[in-house]
Amino acid sequence: MAQAEIGLIGLAVMGANLALNIAEKGFSIAIHNRSAGRIDEVLPQADALKGDMIGCRTPEELVASLKSPRSIIIMVKAGQPVDDVIDQLLPLLAPGDTLIDAGNANFHDTRRRLNRLKPMGFGFIGMGVSGGEEGARHGPSIMVGGTPEEYARLETILQAIAAKFQGDPCVDLMGPDGAGHFVKTVHNGIEYADMQMIAEVYGYLRDQGQLQPKAMAGMFQTWNKGPLKSYLIEITGKILATTDPDTGQPMVDVIEDRAGQKGTGRWTLIEALTLGQSASTIEAAVGARSWSAAKQARLVGEDLLPDPDGETTKQAEQDGEIAISDAELEQALLAAKIIAYSQGFSLLSAADQQYGWDLDLARIAEIWREGCIIRSAMLDDMAAAARSGMPHGHLIFSASFAARLASSVRSLRRFVASSALHGLATPAMSSALAYYDTMRRARGTTNLIQAQRDFFGAHGFERLDGRADQHGPWQGQ
């Protein structure tokens, strides 16, 4: 007998925890997994929860267990596996049923799937879910892309399972088709940048400050009580305070410095370039992860490439030019973090214009206040800035954040200078500063690039007096 209010396919870590979250909130859910053994592992965990959890050995059993019109969450690996599940389900469904892709999908795939399913009478939602394993189980941040009617059918369940910020569920309809997955992609891009910036400050404290992880842990714990208060700062303090039970060394010191990535950072960059936007802090973070994989090459480079000129560095330190205090490190990280978020919001604004999604940037900031990886104390102020108006779509141009940068960017400048003189790589922090310095100058240097393009390719240029399609009388041409 059909009795479940919603179905879910895919019981890996995220899918299983999301299913348990739904059951805990008192809803009946039917679950299915390609490997039936995983169903048997998850079902006992739901025995003490409020809602019913029904294990289904086949897609046919799952569909038969659902009340009509049916809603089925797909939580499998992004890409072809999602299409494979859709192909399995279509012959079993009826017009009016809705499929929900809650994985880390490329929003272009979401739009393609919608265009395929809509003429058949099926609903399709692209739903970004952030917060990792803990968030899925106890309250994620949820970014929905779909129609208002489709969202209304799921709203009660989604509001119940979402994280709450002062009672406000961190879930909402972002816009139609791929809007939800695009917002999640930008979220992940900001996450890349934020993590890289924190790692660069850690590297400075380790290699230049000669601090041990436990001493750094105290700094991060202190910073988490101030303007940098955020999930990533919080867990960094906990990580640095952790000891490896096997060796007795700081846990962070026994971890290989090769970082993985699942592709969402690269997607953010691709879309930024397509939309003519700068996501330089995210680009630097993605590049840094790629460079980290070249460990053997870096070992060779350590022997071949010289350290910075020690006398120059020593003289600069004696002159007091690059001595960085703990308070300045905090302000440097704060400035870079603001710039990374600003680039993310600018990208959202550009995509909104391109695709006509009518994104509410303030509401996006509010949804990110709890449950997600980039949750931060600053997001309330970012929401307020978005509501009051960000000139030309730039968070750094809003009055409140321009003022914060005015008082903190000097520390970022000194941090980047000190790192460069000591030969420490800070790609994300340096990119943040370069972006800030670019955006604060009305006249840049691309006039010379335009002249170069005209010299070798007769591409033409626009003069300051407004005359377009001009060519220069270049010497030696």
Q: How far is CA 372 from CA 131, 150, 187, 322, in A?
A: 4, 23, 9, 36
Helix, strand or coil, per DSSP, at residue 428:
helix
Q: What does the radius of gyration of the chain's CA atoms come to, in whole angstroms?
A: 25
Q: Where are the alpha helices (DSSP H) in 359-398?
A: 361-367, 379-388
| Distance from C-alpha of 375 to C-alpha of 231, rounded to nearest angstrom | 6
Q: Kindly give the interhelix angle for 379-388 and 326-355, rounded to the nearest 10 degrees.
A: 50
Q: Which residue has the tokens 């679950």?
A: 31
| Distance from C-alpha of 331 to C-alpha of 345, rounded to nearest angstrom | 21
Q: Pick the closest to residue 184 from 250, 118, 125, 124 (CA basis).
A: 125
Spatial CB neighbours of 446, under 8 Å, sequence gap ≥ 6: none
Whether 191 sits among the annotated catalytic residues: the reply is: yes
Choosing from 5, 24, 191, 271, which is the catalytic residue? 191
| Distance from C-alpha of 273 to C-alpha of 280, rounded to nearest angstrom | 10
| Distance from C-alpha of 287 to C-alpha of 280, rounded to nearest angstrom | 10
- Contact between 49 and 57 under an 8 Å Cβ cutoff? The reply is no
Q: Pick the closest to residue 203 from 248, 253, 245 (CA basis).
A: 253
Choosing from 24, 25, 150, 184, which is the catalytic residue? 184
- Contact between 184 and 130 under an 8 Å Cβ cutoff? The reply is yes
| Distance from C-alpha of 215 to C-alpha of 222, rounded to nearest angstrom | 11
Q: Which residue has the tokens 């960094």?
A: 236
Spatial CB neighbours of 76, under 8 Å, sequence gap ≥ 6: 9, 10, 12, 15, 82, 85, 103
| Distance from C-alpha of 167 to C-alpha of 171, rounded to nearest angstrom | 12
Structure-token pair, residue 341: 């978020």
Q: What is the DSSP string of 242-264?
A: -B-TTTSSBGGGGS-S-----SH
Strand partners, 304: none
DSSP secondary structure code for residue 279 in this structure: -
Amino acid at 16: A
Positions marked catalytic: 184, 191
